[in-house]
Amino acid sequence: MDTSKLLMVLMGEVLIAIGVPLLAIARYLLAPNEKKSRIARGIKVIAIVWMAVGVLIYIRAFLGSIIKP
C-alpha cells in the first residue's frame, strides 16, 4: 500500500472515530426524557468497547516495537 492510500485510510478512520460519538451524543440530547437512560446505557457500552479496542491497539504497537520479526 502506498503512502497516499494509507493516508486516506487513516483520515477515514479518524473521521469515523469522531463521527460515531458525536452521533450518539446528538441522539441522546434529542431524545425524550424517558428514552435518555436507555440511550445513555448504549453510549456507555460503545465507550467501553472503544476504550478496550484502543488499549489493544496500544499493546500491539508497544509489543510490535519490542518484538521485531
Q: Which residues contact 22 (CB under 8 A, 6 or more apart)?
A: none
According to the model, what pLDDT value does residue 67 have?
A: 77
Measure the CA–CA gap between 28 and 47, rounded to whole angstroms: 14
According to the model, what pLDDT value does residue 55 have?
A: 82
Q: What is the pLDDT along the chain (69 residues), one digit of tens a residue?
A: 677 777 788 788 888 888 888 887 888 888 888 888 888 888 888 888 878 887 887 787 777 777 766
According to the model, what pLDDT value does residue 31 have?
A: 85
According to the model, what pLDDT value does residue 1 have?
A: 61
Q: List the chain domain ranges.
A: 3-66
This prediction's pTM: 0.54
